[in-house]
Amino acid sequence: MILGHQKQWKFLENSYKLGRLSHAYLFYGPSHIGKKTLAIEFIKFLNCLPASATPKALQAGEKESNKPCGVCRNCRDIEKGIFPDFTLLKPDNKEMKIAQLRKLEYYFSLSPSRSLFKTAVIDQAHSMTQEAQNSFLKTLEEPKGRALFILITEYPDRILPTILSRVQKIKFSLVDKSEISAEIKEQSVPESQIEKIVDFSLGRPGLALNFLKDPKKLLEIEQRVKDFNKLSQFDLFARFQYVQELSKQEPQDIKKVLSIWSRHIRNRIINTLKSAEQNPKQKNYSLIQLQKIIKTISKLQFSFATTNINTRLALETLMLEF
Ligand SMILES: [Zn+2]
């Protein structure tokens, strides 16, 4: 299921139909918006063989429809990850190492067996180490036969310029609330929940689907956003107390809280800029304050990812911005 991104789909579909498909693409944009889903759907589309297709049309690569059927053997095998001419690469514990990219090089040295194309989706491409990126560059420079690579990332600036110059870049943006809402309404969810899911998914269909699967995740986000709103009314002592409790949690849980806040603040900044009159609910923080907070959160997220900083002290620094 693809939510939004019709422009991107149309572009790829037309490129295919006109025989102008690039051999490598980079899909970039915020997390959880459906970049990987669209990449996999497109690979299904390229390989879709519905029972109704004539052998002549199949040989010419003609398509009866502009979407994959989702039920033929190829579509199902791609979905299950067992299609021999498609591979999905993702980081093994944070990093994508050179050994994984060497396997990919070998995979691309083989001829396709059931498809006209050999295809690979490289998820979180920014997690390739420098060595891995150099190894991938070789595969990218010398593709054998008909190859298609789709790199997925939220951080295109962490990818080597030599790779970037060899891929066609396609930008993905947040999905309109109305599109997410229309999709969720089809899933027999209570009306009160729909509004919450749409609000808290902040234009990211992937988050909306996570909430549908696991309502606990929605409650967690709701609680953390409430905390964030309350913090501005607390005095510094109460904010430090909050941090004391928060810093007792596992590092990955703290990172989760920071990313919830950061997404939430970005969304608020966008909305504040969009609407001339401020939403009364948003009065507790000024725009300048939100920008300062988000800057500090970004710095903290970077420090958490790269150094062993004292969590409590770092969070206290953040509390000074509230
Ligand atoms: Zn199909």
Residue 266 alpha carbon to ligand 1 centre in Å: 39
Residue 78 alpha carbon to ligand 1 centre in Å: 10
**Which 3 state secondary structure label does DSSP give 286?**
coil
Domain count, the chain: 3
- CATH code: domain of residue 100: 3.40.50.300
Asked, for residue 229, whether it belongs to a domain, the answer is yes
Same structural domain, 25 and 160: yes
Same structural domain, 206 and 111: no
By CB neighbour count within 10 A (0-12 exposed, 13-18 middle, 19+ buried), where does 281 fall? exposed
Residue 75 alpha carbon to ligand 1 centre in Å: 4
Residues with CB under 5 A from ligand 1 (ion): 48, 68-69, 72, 75
pLDDT digits (tens, 9 = 90+) for 154-195: 999 999 999 999 999 999 999 988 888 888 888 778 888 888
Name the pLDDT band for 57 (thresholds 50, 70, 90).
Answer: low
Residue 77 alpha carbon to ligand 1 centre in Å: 10
Q: Tokens 């790829």 — which residue?
A: 12
Residue 147 alpha carbon to ligand 1 centre in Å: 20
Same structural domain, 207 and 220: no
pLDDT above 60: residue 111: yes
Least confident of 77-86, 205-214, 278-287, 299-308: 278-287
pLDDT above 60: residue 299: yes
Same structural domain, 225 and 167: no
Distances (CA, A) of 231 to 226, 257, 316: 9, 14, 12
Domain that includes residue 228, residue range? 216-319
Same structural domain, 85 and 160: yes
In angstroms, the CA 176 to CA 307 distance is 37
In angstroms, the CA 194 to CA 178 distance is 11
CB atoms within 10 A of CB 91: 18
Taking the model in full, what pTM does it have? 0.78
Of 205, 200, 196, 197, nearest to 176 by C-alpha is 205
Same structural domain, 249 and 294: yes
